[in-house]
A and B are shown apart, each in its own frame.
Chain A
């Protein structure tokens, strides 16, 4: 019997159209737009000015606090301007816009494909390297990785969990990375184990990626302390709390950090970035992006320079189909609908998904028939129908008591509702208001 998390969950159609497409390196864009707020936390401070010549890998914005990180240039050329542009959410954010010229890398970066397995760095030095390289959670949450490696006083990590679940339909970037860079991920895992001081690491992978599971089982023999855990396919298993539950059986208490139950979770993409940062001295300037959709002619997995326009990725995957209604950054369950295809790829862009009119059309909302499916599928044990009503009636204290803040916004409730009720929309509004209420008490 394969492991999985116990409570709730749904099975959306997998649609992993690009699963057998090898990672292709996309050429540099003509103009790169590098946002200075690509992570959760304080935006970085810009270090460059207009007209300055920049090389690939050069630091262009510096971490401005503990929960913040560095930003590097992914291209070489001249800074055209520093301006505000729309990010994936449609908000105007500050960005460094670089006119690309040549492909001049910093000499310190090792660009070879040669595998390096041994490092002399100690825990502190590895963490510093990760901060220096600007690494954040590449699964989509973009939480600065170095912060996760420094648990609050009194808490100790016992197990490192590597998230190779990729439970979102359509997305295959982590899958491809596990197949093509398996050994690098294992070395990266050893580095993170050293940084955290843990003896045990578990790579969690859903069993629809049996080739990746097999790959790690063969390669992993050389790397002590790393286990592979095959998981039964169920969304949202890639959610941090769900994955910890599936792998260790422990539940992270409401409002607590994963390290409260001794677990630290990192995505496989993040682990690969850690390998490159520590072993190759390469900052986080590229990432794997799945470009996919049912009507897209060439679903692909690309290695993309951060700051490339989404338009370039879609063109490389066969161009935007005529029936396109939505372009999503991320997967169909939790991704963000883009305001335009001109927004730049950022550190958190795990996929670009093109949905047609038919797929992306919301149906007419009907009365709640109290079928209880939303309650049954909620992985956090919440009652979405109730939270929606409380939100509509603006009963924030009651919503707080019903644990609205525990919602991980996985969308299982809205996905499953036979009356097409916009449950998560209202719950998000509730979270926003309850969050403000909680802050106002302090």
Chain B
């Protein structure tokens, strides 16, 4: 029994969770909503998703292998996740070459330029999406109708787009609401929009799974949605003839997808729970400001990217409460 023993500092056991497991759990959580978009938009949605994932993975592999000359780490699943999230943030009818550009920007500029996994300041999928939105505004805002399939389908504005255009043209809100989908259709996903943002129900289902598996905590999603609800709720109560109800706001556009799956990206959100609440409240407020007073009908992508930029600052100033920091009075 004169074995050579390993000497290493404690702890000698680990929990056994890994980056791969976290990434694949998030991808798994997105599957119901993704499947619904395949059903709703048909084959173009499938092609779009495949192209997005493949481009992301290939871009990361090539950059790591030939530009950075490091061991490719595509097996960790983070590039696949970026591909899925980018696809879910695009309208189903967009030409595939644009998807390729978006994916290249996501991985190349959004992630690898900063140093790869964990180093990026901004959510890579949103960097790609916003790049496409600014570069190709028309295809990026032409949404095929859910009930029709194929690229030839009639395009239709999103509920938020309808609302914005209507209000701009001076149509009273009471008239507009009759043309907008009702809450049930919003909740179950019978609306037009980007691929992954149409069904609030299925996104919530995925979120529930992530909560149970303790991949993410409630702090960011609930605060983002809560802030949007509260802010638009106050406006609605003050001027119900001018502002639409808060439930409409959290069920439409990218609010659900953004709050549950984009704002919660670990890399680009703050480390402490307190910091996360502050960050999420910022996202909620900026989203509402853009939706109501900005040029775009939807603003959560911009809101998340703006708050991503504040994350290092939040990490620097919002510290966890240290043990024994405040002298406790004797009980």
Contact = CB atoms under 8 A, between A and B. Distances in A.
Residue among A90, A360, A371, A406 with the highest chain B CB neighbour number at 10 A:
A371
A370 B322 contact: no
Residue among A90, A319, A353, A417 with the highest chain B CB neighbour number at 10 A:
A417
Contact of A415 (B5, B15, B116, B328): B15
B331 A248 contact: yes
A164 B78 CA distance: 44
B245 interface: no
B21 interface: yes
A324 to B, nearest CB: 6
B179 to A, nearest CB: 44
Contact of B119 (A339, A341, A367): A367
Contacts of B319: 383
B14 A415 contact: yes
A383 B271 contact: yes
Contact of B19 (A169, A335, A419): A419
Contacts of B5: 324-327, 337-341
A253 interface: yes
A367 B322 contact: no
A250 B331 contact: yes
Interface residues of B, number: 46
Given A261-B330, A366-B117, A378-B320, A385 B271 contact: yes
A307 B90 CA distance: 70
Nearest to B330: A262
A67 B267 CA distance: 47
A46 interface: no
A10 B15 CA distance: 9
Contact of B328 (A261, A359, A366): A261
Contacts, number: 174
Interface string A280-323: 00000000000000000000000000000001001000011000
Given A249-B331, A254-B324, A369-B266, A320 B21 contact: no
A27 interface: no
Interface in B111-136: 116-119
A251 interface: yes
A420 interface: yes
B331 A425 contact: no
A341 B11 contact: no
B325 to A, nearest CB: 7
A369 B271 contact: no
B323 A7 contact: yes
A375 B320 contact: yes
Nearest to B266: A371
B76 interface: yes
Given A324-B3, A371-B266, A383-B319, A252 B324 contact: yes
Given A383-B320, A418-B17, A418-B19, A328 B12 contact: yes
B162 interface: no
B8 interface: yes
A341 B15 contact: no
A376 B17 CA distance: 15
B272 interface: yes
B13 A371 contact: no
A434 to B, nearest CB: 15
A366 B9 CA distance: 19
Given A328-B10, A359-B13, 5 more contacts: A158-B330, A363-B18, A371-B266, A372-B266, A420-B18
Nearest 9 CB-CB pairings of A with B: A411-B11, A367-B118, A372-B271, A381-B322, A251-B324, A371-B266, A380-B323, A253-B324, A332-B13
